[in-house]
Amino acid sequence: MNQNRIIVVRFRSKPLACTTVSSVYCGPVQVKSAGLSLVSLSEQRELPQLERKEVMSRIRNPRFFFSLIKRVLQAPPETHIKPFFNPRYFATAIAGEKHSVRTRIENQRKAQAAMLDYFYITRGLQFLVAESMSKNAPLFNDNLLEKLDCDTPDDDADIALSITRFLRFHPINEFEPFFESLGLKPSEYNHLLPSDKMFLNEDAFLLENYNTFWIYGIGLKQMGKIFKEARGVFGYETGVLASKIKAFEDLGLSKSFVSRIIVCSPRILVGDMNVEVGKALEILKTVGIGVEWVNENLSEEEDESYDWRSMHRVLSLLRDLCFNDSELLKKHPRLVFEDSGEWTLFLGGFLTKLGSSKSELSSFFLKFPEIEVKKCVLNLRHCFLFLKKIKMECDEIGKIFRSHSSWLGACSLKKPRTLLDRLSVGTRRLCQVIQENPEVMKKWTMGLKVQPLPPTGEEETSRLMKTQFLINLGYDQNSEEMERAVKKFRGRGSELQQRFDFLVSLGLNEKDVRNMVNAFPQILCQASDLLEAKVNYIVNELGYPFSIFVTFPSCLVFTLQRMKLRLGMIPFMEGKVKAISSLLGCSDKHFVSHYVNRHPDGPKHWEDLKKQILYE
């Protein structure tokens, strides 16, 4: 074997050159040391078989490849570097790709011609149907070509013959290309394929109604939409579909308009919906609006469909609200056409429940904002929940909505918790501010910066009392710790000292209570009767000493229900728990997995305990 190692240079898995280890090829650059020659491809073919195997094993070794790169980077300046590029290969590759594209296109064209011959001549389908199925079902044709494996240029001449031979011995389900030609995806029509039929001629009514739509000027994609939304229409017996279409023409509607409303709302062909359409158009006619306005606002989008019964109800509602002018509908056609007017009906019912009168509803619709009806409803709903969250009285909420709904529907308010923090107020003060001037909420919408409200005299007095109370507990005045403690105290400052004294009166030491409040100021945010109930439960019912509150003051922060649920499981824990802090402080998931499920009867007792406490 030669002393020098041999390296084969490859590009896209094709050997380009072969050289010794002294001549290194890296990417598109060949580094060739002086005095050494490049071995040609013809010389490479003459290499012994053993050396070829060694060459391949070294090339596949990543460590060997990166060592070559390192040697290139560390090569001395006198090393000769010249570019290595084979344009002939790239020209061949591009030509091959173009040829492959041409082959696929040619195969598809021949497949369409073969399918047309099969459907029209062999199966005897109408030429219109056969042509549509052969040209408008690309997925079906591609799947057929994959089964035949006709992607190579050598099969070009035999593609049509191969398809004809295949279909002769392998009948296809003709409903698949038929549904795909209507614009349906396989996921949309797979569940619609009949289990007892394979050939379209077996479903005569389907083809008959297909021809009826086609003659009336309804295209293939529109028929696909009709099939998805009103599939039963294609099963009508002879003459039924034509009679239903004629019923709309008898209303005085033109053929083009009837065709459009059928595509936009296919369900009008089911039942006696022509009556609802006639009633809706009659209401529009009384206010001077013709079918041209309807035609302009109808949408043929695939995900858009109209319910004329709902649209008739909306028009009746607006007419009952003393609506005798066409300007409202011309300005806001979305009141009728957005989701067939369902959001408008919901909006009217929502305001009616809040106490709006007929005249107030009429005024609201006349001042309707320039937004989507759905967005208006969601804004009003959010505003209602906002006012409920800050505990405003229902009567006051009704007054605000009856007078200010027109602009409230156009405002997206911030969340209550965010607004309370930004305004630095409580719910009581916020309710008072809104009741005095509801239009102040225009400043609290999404995207606007909110400034804190100036404190009132009562709030300033309450803050001073909180500050004095904290100074008595040992806080430094104007310190960061005091500011954080003041924010944690909820309610009036006059109540803090009362609750502090109440804890002392229950039997706790004043020094211990001071330490407890310093550790958890939230303890004093609770009413005195609630604090008493928690202390009585832990001390009198469970038998714990008062010192438990000193070592674990945060237990008074948890709700009484949580205490009874968690601590009520102690008898089932078999003495494994020494401190109630581990029971009250852990999450529900951790408590159930580590304390409830460890005992055989634990889950049953846990459920019984929850039912007992929840219904107290």
Report the share of the chain in percent with pLDDT over 90: 24
Which DSSP helix (H) or strand (E) runs through 26? Answer: strand 23-26
Spatial separation of the C-alpha atoms in residues 596 and 584, rounded to whole Å = 13
Q: Does residue 478 carry a pLDDT above 90?
A: no
Q: Does residue 3 carry a pLDDT above 60?
A: no
Q: Which of 558, 616, 549 is nearest to 591 (CA)?
A: 558
Tens of pLDDT along 30-73?
A: 433 333 333 333 444 444 444 444 545 555 555 555 565 555 55
The top-scoring range by mean pLDDT among 147-151, 242-246, 523-527 is 242-246
Check the CA dihedral 53-55-61-63 and report its sign.
positive
Spatial separation of the C-alpha atoms in residues 464 and 494, rounded to whole Å = 10
Which residues, 6+ apart, have CB-to-CB distance to 409 below 8 Å? 368, 369, 371, 376, 377, 379, 380
Across the strands, what pairs with 340?
none
CATH architecture of 204-305: Alpha Horseshoe (1.25)
pLDDT (average), residues 451-475 = 74
Spatial separation of the C-alpha atoms in residues 312 and 284, rounded to whole Å = 10
Spatial separation of the C-alpha atoms in residues 394 and 388, rounded to whole Å = 8
pLDDT score for 63: 57
Q: Does residue 467 carry a pLDDT above 90?
A: no
Across the strands, what pairs with 327?
none
Which residues, 6+ apart, have CB-to-CB distance to 494 below 8 Å? 462, 465
Q: Which residue shows structure tokens 């047309």?
A: 116
Tens of pLDDT along 132-185?
A: 999 999 898 888 888 876 544 445 447 778 888 888 888 888 999 999 999 898
The top-scoring range by mean pLDDT among 22-26, 93-97, 482-486, 562-566 is 562-566
pLDDT score for 68: 53
Write down the mean pLDDT value for the chain.
78
Q: Residue 206 is encoded by which pair of tokens?
A: 């389907």
Q: Does residue 280 carry a pLDDT above 70?
A: yes
The top-scoring range by mean pLDDT among 73-87, 217-231, 488-502, 540-554 is 217-231
pLDDT score for 93: 44
Across the strands, what pairs with 81?
31
pLDDT score for 12: 39
Task: Write phi, then psi, for 557 (nearest 5 degrees).
Answer: -80, -30
Report the share of the chain in percent with pLDDT over 70: 77
pLDDT score for 463: 73
pLDDT score for 334: 92
Pick the more confident residue, 187 or 29.
187
pLDDT score for 148: 77
DSSP code of residue 187: H
pLDDT (average), residues 345-367 = 91
pLDDT score for 529: 87
The top-scoring range by mean pLDDT among 15-29, 410-424, 504-518, 542-556 is 410-424
Lowest mean pLDDT among 84-93, 207-216, 294-303, 475-484: 84-93
Q: Does residue 325 carry a pLDDT above 90?
A: no
Lowest mean pLDDT among 469-473, 569-573, 576-580: 576-580
Number of H helices, E strands in the chain: 34, 5
Residues 308, 280 contacting (CB under 8 angstroms): yes
> What count of other Cβ atoms lies within 10 Å of the Cβ of residue 543?
7
pLDDT-based confidence at residue 328 (cuts at 50, 70, 90)? confident
Q: What is the DSSP string of 554-583?
A: GGGTS-HHHHHHHHTTGGGSTT----THHH
Residues 419, 450 contacting (CB under 8 angstroms): yes
Say if domain 502-615 classifies as CATH 1.25.70.10. yes
pLDDT score for 57: 55
Spatial separation of the C-alpha atoms in residues 151 and 140, rounded to whole Å = 16
Spatial separation of the C-alpha atoms in residues 312 and 268, rounded to whole Å = 13
Q: What pTM value is reported for the model?
A: 0.61
pLDDT (average), residues 270-288 = 88
Distance, C-alpha 501 to centroid of its chain: 54
pLDDT score for 43: 41
pLDDT score for 575: 53
Q: Does residue 278 carry a pLDDT above 60?
A: yes
